[in-house]
Amino acid sequence: MADIGRSVEGYLFLSEEDAALAREEVDRINYISSRMSANNPNAILAVYDRMVQNRTFVTPVGQEYLGTLRDYLYKSPQIDDSLIKDVPVVVSYTEALKSEKEKEKEKKAERRKVKTFKREYQVALGVIGALIFVIISMFTIALRSDNPNIINYENAIVDKYAGWEQELTERESKIREKEEELGIDPLTDKEDTSKPGTQPEIDIETGAGD
């Protein structure tokens, strides 16, 4: 069983560390008992007082041993009861209970967090799935649409640019044709008088032009 390592002298401790401390106290009890004489109550009282003052025993195992010595001293006619000290309790049971309750609350809170996380995770998966569907739909519409969008925007711009370039070329050709027709030099924007038909006629008789 898993609890065997935490069981000492009939007490089941909450941790392996507490159980190990109780085992140390068992060894201490055996050592002290082997050196004390039951026929000398005053010596036992002196040892008892020292152990109580130094808090030699703190686990239930050690405190049970102190209780045994105290009962022996109360029964001894050689010892005044007023000289016998109480066994000190070194653990706050209310604090221990609060601690256990707090731990239980923390466990419940952790379980609630896990459940909440699972729900949020499922919702997130749903949202991600919906977004993927929307994105796929947008790409599908984009591939089938003639309007400039994310997919064919670049192609539309290139086509428009090519159309503009062709239109400008056509306009430039018409302008050059018109310039040639009017005899205008495109570099100077002046009429070219060197071309035939563009010089003014001279009246030979009068020496003046038309």
Q: Look at residues 96, 117, 21, 97 and name the one whose alpha carbon lies nearest to residue 60.
A: 21
> Band of the pLDDT at 208, cuts 50, 70, 90?
very low
DSSP-derived letter for residue 195 is S
pLDDT of residue 151: 52
On the 0-12 / 13-18 / 19+ scale of CB atoms within 10 A, 65 is: buried
Q: Residues 21, 11: contact at Cβ < 8 Å? A: no
pLDDT in tens, 39-54: 899 999 999 999 999 9
Q: Residues 159, 171: contact at Cβ < 8 Å? A: no
Q: How far is CA 182 from the centre of its chain?
A: 80
For the chain, the structural domain boundaries read: 4-91, 103-144, 152-196
Q: Look at residues 24, 35, 28 and name the one whose alpha carbon lies nearest to residue 51.
A: 28
Q: How far is CA 169 from the centre of its chain?
A: 62
CA distances from 84 to 30, 38, 57, 65 (A): 22, 17, 17, 15
Give percent above pLDDT 70 in the chain: 71
